[in-house]
Chains A and B, each alone.
Chain A
Amino acid sequence: MINIWEVNETNKMVEQENLDVRTITIGISLLSCIDSDLKKLNEKIYERITTVARDLAAAAETIENEYGIPIVNKRISVTPVALVGGAACRTTEDFVTIAHTMDRAAQAVGANLIGGYSALVSKGMTEADELLIRSIPEALCTTERVCSSVNLASTRTGINMDAVRLMGEILLEVAERSKDRDSVDCMKLVVFCNAPDDNPFMAGAFHGVTEADAVINVGVSGPGVVKTALEKVRGENFETLCETIKKTAFKVTRVGQLVAQEASRMLHIPFGIVDLSLAPTPAVGDSVADILCEIGLEYAGAPGTTAALALLNDQVKKGGVMASSYVGGLSGAFIPVSEDQGMIDAVQAGAITLEKLEAMTCVCSVGLDMIAIPGDTKATTISGIIADEMALGMVNQKTTAARLIPVIGKGVGDTVEFGGLFGYAPIMPVNRFSCDAFIHRGGRIPAPIHSFKN
């Protein structure tokens, strides 16, 4: 039987170390809604989302109460809208109506965010893909809950540089349209290389075409739990360090697995995956950067950071994989700047640069995340940063992403407030040398060779 020490350990993780379930995300296929009549399409989408996700908020609340584990977000991801809307949408305004429908449906069922205003263009863009991408600024600036993502590259197809160039311009447009609010709408837009079909985390969640009609994906979190566990093994060797991370990741993931199974049972929707991510928040003690410091760095960004992060990411996966029957999504350590107090401190201390963050994305999940850059950064420079990140994912056969926030009217030295879970960020300097000629070449970068690996 369970003993008092085990009960206390679990409750301490929740009460003092910020253990929570970051999100229960219902993935919903909208393929059955496809119609050439835009009005009918919107009606079907609203009906489908509000039917499948009807009990999402209530189920999450019951699980929270009965198990005593906080569930921070209830979310929905849908089939990439470029695929769903292709037959009905002739203009960017047509696509925006779908964003409004998604926003209303999410609000109706009490979902915090809805992802899937997306296009998958890693090799080429259809007319619908391009219309959707061009509609993103209007869609994001006129909705509250809609999140957008674009897959620009993959290991199998290479990098669609036309789309990379376009996204640099689109991102600046989103920033410009929300400049009175510190360009915050850029937070709801992310670009990917090798985007996973089952990611429960925003802004990049969409319900891939390889998925079933509906599925429950759960993202757990617990940087604070790992940090506290590591405090007890200060000065010990790497073997002890790694074992401690693995055991802790196992415990955290088991909670995610339980919540996913319960949500699946209550909502009568199949369980998809648990995403084993260490996702920080700005709350003190809920930081991935603090774990890196606990491993032995003065600040995240100091020499040794990439190795420490590689170790952390790998041990989280090793511990977590055994704790869940299906693992997927992004699974690893997230290193967003604004959402992590330790990262913010590192930027303010001058310990970490954009280039070091780029190196760190080679060994952990996702990529350049929630990074505020000067508002006068050129579109081609943004595309250049995106292209670099896509290349890392493409060559290393991993998911990488970029969620950059060019803050219009602000520059290096300024700080931008995003509010709530999103935190605040000091604006980071960007390399000022031009890559115009590179970005303007057009076309695509071919897929890398899959043999002769060095």
Chain B
Amino acid sequence: MDKTTDRAIITVVGKDTVGIIARVCTYLSENRINVLDISQTIVSGFFNMMMIVDMAEAKQSFLDCQKGLDEIGADIGVSIKCQREEIFEKMHRI
């Protein structure tokens, strides 16, 4: 299936712990997913991170990457979502 864009947004929400960013970034690098931007904040005690990534060269399909990130999330006890960027772009930009 041809893609309209290869950019995706990864969000990580959960209890702060050591190595969250490291685990996620290791997975991304292993799968040749390029990180374009990272921002992070703590909202009412919860770790909240957003990454903009480029999946043009990704080794796996979008769905498989989602599954991989899901497994990492379950492992470290945080919720990791991976969504195509357009939904945010459409909603917040004219």
Residues of A at the B interface (CB closer than 8 Å) are: 1-4, 6-11, 62, 65-69, 251, 254-255, 257-258, 262, 265-266
9 CB < 8 A contacts A-B: A3-B39, A4-B39, A4-B50, A8-B11, A10-B91, A65-B63, A66-B83, A262-B4, A265-B4
- Residues of B that sit less than 8 Å from A by CB: 1, 4, 9, 11, 36-37, 39-41, 43, 48-50, 52, 62-63, 66, 81, 83-93
Whether A68 touches B50, Cβ cut-off 8 Å, given contacts A1-B37, A4-B41, A7-B11, is no
State whether B90 touches A2 (Cβ < 8 A). Answer: no
Residue of B nearest to A11 (CB): B11
**Given A1-B37, A3-B39, A65-B66: A8 in contact with B48 (beta carbons within 8 A):** yes
Bound CA–CA A68/B9 (angstroms): 11
Chain A residue with the shortest CB-CB distance to B10: A7
Per the bound structure, the CA–CA distance linking A191 and B92 in Å amounts to 38
- Nearest residue (CB) in B for A265 is B4
Q: Which residue of A lies closest to B49 (CB)?
A: A4
A67 and B37: CB pair below 8 A?
no
B92–A68 contact, CB under 8 A?
A: no
Given contacts A68-B81, A68-B83, contact A10 B88 (CB under 8 A): yes
On chain B, the residues within 8 Å of A262 by CB distance are 4
B63 contacts A2, C-beta separation under 8 Å: no
B85 touches A2 (CB 8 A): yes
Q: Which 5 residue pairs spanning A and B have beta carbons closest together?
A: A68-B83, A4-B50, A6-B92, A254-B90, A67-B87
Contacting pair B81 A67 (CB below 8 A)? no
Question: Measured between alpha carbons, how far is A254 from B86 in the docked complex, in Å?
Answer: 10
Write out the residue numbers on chain B whose beta carbons fall within 8 Å of the beta carbon of A254.
90-91
Instruction: Give the distance in Å from the alpha carbon of A258 to the alpha carbon of B92 in the complex.
Output: 13
**A67 contacts which chain B residues (CB < 8 A)?**
83-84, 86-87
**When the two chains form their complex, are residues B81 and A11 in contact, meaning their CB atoms are under 8 A apart?**
yes
Cβ distance A55 to chain B, nearest Cβ, rounded Å: 11
SS of A interface (majority): helix
Minimum Cβ distance to chain A for residue B42 (Å): 12
Contacts of B88 in A (CB 8 A): 2, 6-7, 10
| Chain A residues in 8 Å Cβ range of B11 | 7-8, 11
A309 to B16, CA, bound (A): 44
| Distance to closest chain A CB from B76 (angstroms) | 19
Q: How close is B56's CB to chain A, nearest CB, in angstroms?
A: 15
| A266/B87 in contact, CB under 8 A | no
**Are the C-beta atoms of B41 and A10 separated by less than 8 Å?**
no
CA distance A4 to B11 in the complex (A): 9
Distance in angstroms between the alpha carbons of A255 and B91 in the assembled complex: 7
- The residues of B that contact A255 with a CB separation of less than 8 Å are 87, 90-91
Q: Which residue of A lies closest to B37 (CB)?
A: A1
Apart from the given pairs A2-B52, A66-B83, A265-B4, 10 other A-B contacts in the complex at a CB distance below 8 Å: A4-B39, A4-B48, A11-B81, A62-B63, A66-B63, A67-B86, A67-B87, A254-B91, A255-B87, A257-B90
Quote the shortest CB–CB distance from A19 to chain B (angstroms): 10
CB contacts (< 8 Å) of B81 on chain A: these are: 11, 68
Q: How far is the CB of B62 from chain A (nearest CB, A)?
A: 6
CB-CB nearest in chain A for B81: A68
Residues of chain B contacted by A7 (CB below 8 angstroms): 9, 11, 50, 88
Instruction: Flag if B50 contacts A10 (CB, 8 Å).
Output: no
Residues in B neighbouring A8, C-beta threshold 8 A? 11, 43, 48, 50
**Given contacts A65-B63, A65-B66, A66-B62, are A10 and B87 in contact (CB under 8 A)?**
yes
Residues of A within 8 A of B92 (CB): 2, 6, 9-10, 251
Inter-chain contact A251/B1, CB cutoff 8 Å: no
| In the bound complex, CA of A37 to CA of B41 (Å) | 68
Which residues of chain A are within 8 angstroms of B66 by Cβ–Cβ distance? 65
Nearest CB on B from A66, distance (A): 5
Which of B48, B63, B87 gathers the greatest number of chain A CB atoms within 10 Å?
A: B87
Inter-subunit contact A69/B87 (CB<8 Å):
yes
Shortest Cβ gap from A74 to chain B (Å): 18
Q: Which residues of A contact B85 (CB under 8 A)?
A: 2
Contact A266:B1 (CB < 8 A) given known A1-B37, A67-B84:
yes
The reply to whether B89 and A2 form a contact with Cβ atoms under 8 Å apart is yes
Q: Which B-chain residue is minimally distant from A252 (CB atoms)? A: B91
Contact B86 A258 (CB under 8 A): yes
Enumerate chain A residues within 8 angstroms of B50, measured Cβ to Cβ: 3-4, 7-8
CA distance A47 to B49 in the complex (A): 49
